[in-house]
Structure 1
Amino acid sequence: MKKYHNITNFEELIEQEHGKIGSRSRNAYEENVQMFIISEMLKEARKAAKLTQEQLAERSGTKKSYISKLENARGNIQLSTLIRIFEQGLNKRIGLTFL
């Protein structure tokens, strides 16, 4: 616990565990966080639309196993596929923000 003794906020904790912004470790962590967020958004949107993974896959022209991987943050997704899943499969628009 000594390595956490002087930590006063979440950003300091993330830096302690994953390094400074721009480091290889931190970039990998940030990528995993973003994939987790996308996976949760996809899962919630699918459930709100009252669709099974199989139904969503059929609507969006992909496979149920692929939807499952995405929802479990285990897949690597192309932007075009993500857009197709949300727009064709869920009738939702996607907006991107770059910071």
Structure 2
Amino acid sequence: MKSYDQVKNFEELLELEHGKVGTTSRNEYEENAQMFIISEMLKEARREANLTQEQLAELSGTKKSYISKLENAKGNIQLSTLIRIFEKGLNKKIGFTFL
């Protein structure tokens, strides 16, 4: 059983739950967290544009099922496809920061 008594901040909680940065468990957690953020951004932008998943898929040259998977943080996403969805489908620019 894990003890949370000594946890003082979020980083310590992440280490307790998923290990230190660079471990397999932590990398998987970070990847899933980033995919969740992207999925929420996509849903919000699509809703603001008053588009259905089907309409967005048509505008961006992809399938509704792919948009649905992205919005549910499932599957893999190609950077070029993500850019196309935002730029062609939603008429928005996106930027990335690599750390």
Q: TM-score over 0.5 for the alignment? A: yes
Specify the code of the residue in structure 1 equivalent to 2:9.
N
Q: What is the deviation of 1:3?
A: 1.1
TM-score, length basis structure 1: 0.97
Residues 86 and 2 from structure 1, CA distance in 2 versus in 1: closer, same or farther, beyond 3 angstroms? closer
Hey, what does 1:36 align to over in structure 2?
A: 36
Measure the CA separation in 2 of the matches of 1:23 and 1:78.
24
TM-score (ref. length: structure 2)? 0.97
Q: Does 1:62 align with 2:62?
A: yes
- State the alpha-carbon separation in 2 of the partners of residues 60 and 2 from structure 1: 46
Superposed CA RMSD: 1.0
Q: Which runs of 5+ in 2 are unaligned?
A: none
Q: CA deviation at 1:60?
A: 0.3
Q: What does 1:1-99 correspond to in 2, within 5 Å?
A: 3-99=3-99
Q: Percent identity?
A: 80
Residue correspondences, number:
99
Runs of 4 or more above 3 Å deviation: none
| Structure 1 residues without counterparts, runs of 5 or longer | none
